[in-house]
Amino acid sequence: MAVPKRKTSPAKRGHRRSADALANPTYIEDKDSGELRRPHHVDLKTGLYRGRQILKPRDDA
Q: Over the chain, what HEC string results?
A: CCCCCCCCCHHHHHHHHHHHCCCCCCCEECCCCCCEECCCCCCCCCCEECCEECCCCCCCC
Average pLDDT over residues 26-46: 88
Determine the average pLDDT of the residues in 23-30.
Answer: 90
- 60 has pLDDT over 70: no
pLDDT mean over 25-48: 88
**pLDDT score of 45 more than 60:** yes
Higher pLDDT, 35 or 5: 5
Does position 8 have pLDDT exceeding 90, yes or no?
Answer: yes
- What pTM was estimated for this model as a whole? 0.53
